[in-house]
Structure 1
C-alpha cells in the first residue's frame, strides 16, 4: 500500500484537505480518530489518564473532556510528556493496523504530529498543508472557540512551520478559498495515483 502522510499546523486546513481526498475515493487513516479510539471509556489508557489527572477531566457522559485535558497538558510540560508517552505508541499501533486493511489505490495518513513522532515511518511520502501563522491562529480560534494564547501554546509545542516545509515532498498552500484548496487536492490526487501505480509495478 502506498501511504501519503498528510500534516500541517493547527488551523492549516488538514481536515478540509482530507475530506477532499476522501471525495476522490481515497481512504483516510486519521490520527485524531485514533487518539479518540485509544482512550474510549474503560480502556487501559482511559483508566490510567483518570488515575493521573483525576475525574476533573471527565464529562458527565464519562467520556474524556478533551478541552480540559488539553488545558492541563499545555500548561505543564511534565503532564504533557506523561500523556504523550502513554498515547503515542497506542496511536501508532492503531494506525498501523488500519493501514493494513485499506482498499483504495493509495491511502492518506492524516496527522498533526506526523513529523513530531515516529508516525512518519509509516508513510512513503509527506504532504504538508501550509498556511501563514496569522491564518492558522484566526481559523483555529474561530473553530475551537479557544484563546489566541492557547493556540500559540499548541503551535509552540509542535514542529515549526519552517521545519515542516523542509521535510515536505509536496506542499499545498491553503491561504485562499476552499475552492482553491479542493482544486489543488484534485491535482495532487492525480499525481499520487500515478506514483502509487508506479510503486505497485516495481514492488
Structure 2
C-alpha cells in the first residue's frame, strides 16, 4: 500500500480534494472524522475532561465540542494536552487500516490538517498540500457562513501555506474551477498508483 497525507489550511478545499481522490479509486480516511468518533468514546471523554478541566461536558456526559474548541484556541498548553491524547489514537486507527490485508496494493489518501505542525509527515510515503490564496480561502469560508474575524483568526494561527507547499512532495492548486482541480487530482492519482515519484 502507498500512503499519502493530504494537508492544507482552513478553507482551502482539503475535503473536496479528498473526495476527488476517492472518485479516482483511492481509499480515503479523514483524520477529523476519526477524531469526532474518538470524542464520543467514554474513556476518551474522561481523559479530555481531566486534561481540560471542568465545564467541557454536558449533563449527559458528552463533550461540548464548541467549548473544547474555545478553550484550546488561545491556550497552546491545553491544545498540546488534547493533541497528546488524540494523535496517538488517530494514528492507531490509521495504522490498523493500513495493516488490513484487504487494502494491500491500494493507494490510501489520509486528510491530516496539522500534518507538518505535528511532525507527522514521516509516517506517510508521500505528502500533498492543497492550496489557495488566503483571500480565496477567506472568501469560501464566508460563503459557508464562517464569520470574517473567525476565518482570519484561524488562517493566521496556521503554518503559512507557502511553507506547507515547500514541505510537501506534491501541491494541488485549488484556486481555479473544480474541473481544473479534478484534472490535477487525476494526474497525481495516476502518478501515485504507478509508484513513481517526481520532485
State the TM-score, normalized to the length of structure 2: 0.86
1:81 equivalent in structure 2: 80
1:40 aligns with: 40
Find out whether 1:109 has 2:110 as its counterpart. Answer: yes
CA distance in 2, matches of 1:100, 1:122: 14
Q: RMSD across aligned C-alpha pairs, in angstroms?
A: 2.3
Q: What is the aligned partner in structure 1 of residue 191 from structure 2?
A: 191
Where in structure 2 are the equivalents of 1:106-145 lying within 5 Å?
Answer: 106-143=107-144, 145=145
Aligned to 2:91: 92
What stretches of structure 2 of length at least 5 have no aligned partner? none
TM-score, scaled relative to structure 1? 0.84
Is the alpha carbon distance of 1:104 and 1:11 closer, same or farther for their aligned partners in structure 2, counting shifts above 3 Å? farther
* Matched-pair contact (CA < 8 Å) for 1:41–1:62: no
User: How many equivalent residue pairs?
Assistant: 195
SS in structure 2 opposite 1:47? helix
Report the equivalent of 1:67: 66
Q: Distance in 2 between matches of 1:139 and 1:93?
A: 33
Q: Distance in 1 between matches of 2:58 and 2:191?
A: 44
Equivalent residue, structure 2, for 1:14:
14
Distance 1:78 1:128 in 2: 27
Greater mean deviation of Cα atoms: 121-130 or 103-112: 103-112
Q: Deviations over 1:117-166 (max 9, x none)?
A: 142122111111110011112223433x3333333333333222121011
Partner of 1:201: none
Distance 1:140 1:95, change over 3 A: farther
Residues 176 and 63 (structure 1), Cα distance of their counterparts in 2 relative to 1, 3 Å cut: farther
1:178 aligned onto 2:186: no
